[in-house]
Amino acid sequence: GSGGGPKIFICGHMDEVGFMVTKITEKGFIEFQTLGGWWGQVMLAQQVEIKTQAGKIIHGVIGSKPPHVLTQEARNKPYDVKEMFIDIGATSEEEAKGWGIRPGDMITPYIEYKRMNDSKFLLAKAWDNRVGTAVSLRVLENLAKEGHDNCLFAGSDVMEEVGLRGARTSTHLVNPDIAIALDTGTAGDTPGMTPKEADSVLGKGPQVLIFDASMIPHKKLLNFVTNVAEELEIPFQYTVIAGGGTDAGMMHLTRNGVPSIAITVPVRYLHSHTSVIHEDDYLNTVKLVTEVVRRLDAEAVKELLSY
φ/ψ of 290, rounded to 5, equals -60, -45
Q: How big is the chain by its Cα radius of gyration, in Å?
A: 21
Task: Please report, for residues 13, 39, 175, 180, the alpha-carbon distance to residue 105 in angstroms, rounded to integers and kept in the order given.
Answer: 20, 21, 33, 32
Q: Which among 211, 210, 185, 161 is positioned nearest to 267, based on CA atoms?
A: 185
Catalytic residue list contains 161: no
Amino acid at 224: F
Instruction: Check 83, 93, 94, 160 and give the catalytic one.
Output: 160
Task: Please report, for residues 10, 88, 169, 175, 222, the alpha-carbon distance to residue 255 in angstroms, rounded to integers and kept in the order given.
Answer: 17, 46, 11, 8, 21
Pairing of strands 47-51, 106-109: antiparallel
End-to-end CA distance of the chain: 27
Q: How far apart are alpha carbons 98 and 124 in whole angstroms? A: 31
Active site residues: 160
